[in-house]
Each structure stands twice: as C-alpha cells, then as structure tokens.
Amino acid sequence: MNQEIQMTTRVGIIGGGQLARMMVDPAHKLGFSLIVLDPDPNSPAGQIADEQIVAELTNKKAIQELADKTDVLTIEVEVTNEKGLQNILQEIKDGGKPVHPSPKTLAIIQDKLKQNEFLQKNNLPIPDFLEVKTKSDIKMAIKKFGYPVLLKARTGAYDGRGNALIKTENQIDDALGKLHGKNLYVEKFVPFKKELAIMVARNTSGIINSYPVVETIHENNILNYLFSPASIDKKTKAKAKQIAEDAIKLLDGAGVFGVEMFLTAANEILINEIAPRVHNSGHHTIEANKTSQFEQHLRAISGMDLGETKMIVPASVMINILGERKGKAKPQGIKKAEKIPGVFVHIYGKLETRIERKMGHITVVGNSLDECKAKAEKARSLITV
C-alpha cells in the first residue's frame, strides 16, 4: 500500500452541502479530520466539520489551501464550473496530492454527452442519443427516435433542471427556451417500468464492492422514495450489479459512485447516468447497511479496505424531506416522527428553505417494504421545514 495514502488522516472536501455533512461523523469514527470548502459560511457540512474554508468552489487559491491542509481531496458536487474545477484539480494531482475521483473521471462524467459517448464506446447499455446544436438538429433526432424525446443540457444539470421533455413539435421552442445558452443533446425517451440505482465503491487498490440494488421513485425529476432491496428477481439484480461494476471499472480514481439505471418492459437495463460521489440513492445505508456509503467513500479514497455492504435489516425505505415554501428554515416535528419505531430523521442544517430544496431525509427500517413505506409516510406528515 502506498505510504502516502496509508498515512491519510486529513480529508478535504470541495463542497459543504449535505453529502459532505454526512461524511463528518464517519470521518471522526475512522479517526480522520475533515475540512470543507464552500462559499456559504453556514454550509451544512461547515457547521460540524473540523474546519471550513469559505470560498467559491473553483477558487484556485482556496483549493490549494485545502490541498495543503489535507492528505487527500474529494468532491461532493460535480456540476459547478465543470472545466475550471477539473483543471485546478488536475494541477493539484500533478503536484502529488491524491484527488478522488480523478480529474479525468470528472471530465467524462461532468459532460453528460461525453459520459454517454464513453459508455457507448465501451459497449455499455444506454438510451439512444444524438448531439444537437440547432432546432433542425432536434427535428432530425426526433425523426430518428420518434416522440417523445428528452432535450438535455450537457453540463450543470441535476434533479431534472437540465432536461426538457418534447412530446410534440410545438414544444421544441419551449424546450430550447428553457435550456437557452446550454450545450445540448437529445436522448430517446425510455418507457421504463422501474428506475434502479446501485452504489459502487472502488478503493485505491482497485477493489470494487457494490451495495444491493435499490428501486427509486422520482417526482418532478427529484428522488422521492427509495426502496431497498429493489423488488426485482435475482437475475435482474445480478445483471444490474454487473453493468454498474463494469462501468466503474473503466473510470480512474477511488470513491463511491452512484449508478442510476432504467429497467425496461423488455427487462433490459440501461444506464441513465453516473454520479462520481456519494448519492441520494445511498442515504439509507446509514441505518440499513453494515457500512454506510459515507464511511465507504472515506475508506475508498484513503486506501483502507472497503467495508461490508450487506443490509443489516430485511427492508428499508427512504423519503426525501423537500422544502414546501420560501423563507427561513424551521424544522419541526422531528421528535414526534422519531418516536415511530424504526424511523430515523436527518435534517441537513440548511438555514433557508425553498420549494423542492432537499432539506433532509427520513430512513425507515423494518421487516417489509410495505411496513417501512407506511411509517415513512406517517413520519413525513409530522415534519415541517
């Protein structure tokens, strides 16, 4: 094992949101210190981390300071000023500081078109797609794929914010207006019967370990419910696991990666997208699995052996707590919700709430998915933010 990696005790995270916040406790459990960089002086992670550097996520001087104070750098967000961040991290890596995932991987994943081209080149199953630059290009793509199609931004898109569904020719202009100024591509719409996700960990030695496949339910393109384990047969689970792991084997660097997939009516599995970081699809692992995705990410990037990923309960359901208004956050009802057996509430410490902003999540563990879902809905009804 590389001595530099073996001696890792200080972890730097670019981004101070809820994903970084949920890495703080496992970092301390492992004996690590954790420093975050974020422009918000009251960032969720900064509130409880060992230190926060207050600066923009692409501030080269601040990133260098973070690198100087830590043994390894990682990210919790990959969609900000994509090329600028990638270039800075490449310089840090070239200077001898471990960066995970690698800037090369970020370059592939940050651009959704490049990600699709990379996966297609390596014979991994994905929806059909075409790069477009003009309205005429979009019409040609529609002629090839048929309605509906998705017009997608290549970069800076998350939770559906960079997508526009086109069902008729009259909607093309609206879609172009929504995504004005973006580099675009068209993707053939997939009439899936389930959305699946799998968290895959890879450590600095190249060892891979994945979590059980989960089913995700989205509303307005934002994850609402997650069911673990997914209600699919063993053959489909094995196929999903193989596809996800094959994809991650192709990428440089260590860490936890979220692989989102479609299960079609013909039982085909297509990769929707890959996130080079811990992910909403793995939040339930804090209570439901032997090793949480957050501890696993720290293990992976620091050269440690990966932890066990098996579930320690028969079933788990997670539901996001989304903002329902705009204003100061005032979380209430948490203690009432946690009186329900098997319910765990996580509030992210965001000072401001707004419509559909991720303010927290609820994980429920129990003996069946139906039991957990009922408790999750009850708990959610008790909480306001």
**What ranges do the domains of the chain cover?**
3-100, 128-188, 192-382
Note whether 224 and 320 are within 8 A (CB): yes
pLDDT digits (tens, 9 = 90+) for 34-82: 999 999 999 999 999 999 999 999 999 999 999 999 999 999 986 555 5
Class of residue 81 by CB neighbours under 10 A (exposed 0-12, middle 13-18, buried 19+): middle
Question: Which amino acid makes up residue 191?
Answer: P
What the block records as the tokens of 92 is: 């840090």
CATH class of 128-188: alpha beta
The tens place of each residue's pLDDT in the chain, 385 residues long, gives 343 444 568 999 999 999 999 999 999 999 999 999 999 999 999 999 999 999 999 999 999 999 999 999 999 986 555 568 888 999 999 999 999 999 999 989 989 999 999 999 999 999 999 999 999 999 999 999 999 999 999 987 665 568 899 999 999 999 999 998 889 999 999 999 999 999 999 999 999 999 999 999 988 778 889 999 999 999 999 999 999 999 999 999 999 999 999 999 999 999 999 999 999 999 999 999 999 999 999 999 999 999 999 999 999 999 999 999 999 999 999 999 999 999 999 999 999 999 999 999 999 999 999 999 999 999 999 999 9
User: What is the CATH topology of the domain spanning 192-382?
Assistant: D-amino Acid Aminotransferase; Chain A, domain 1 (3.30.470)
Interatomic CA distance for residues 20 and 26, integer angstroms: 11
Interatomic CA distance for residues 228 and 315, integer angstroms: 6
Of all residues in the chain, the percent with pLDDT exceeding 70 is 95
Give how far Cα 168 sits from Cα of 122, 126, 149, 171, Å: 33, 24, 9, 6
Same fold, 3-100 and 192-382: no
Class of residue 246 by CB neighbours under 10 A (exposed 0-12, middle 13-18, buried 19+): middle
Cβ neighbour number for residue 332 with a 10 Å cutoff:
11
CATH number of 3-100: 3.40.50.20
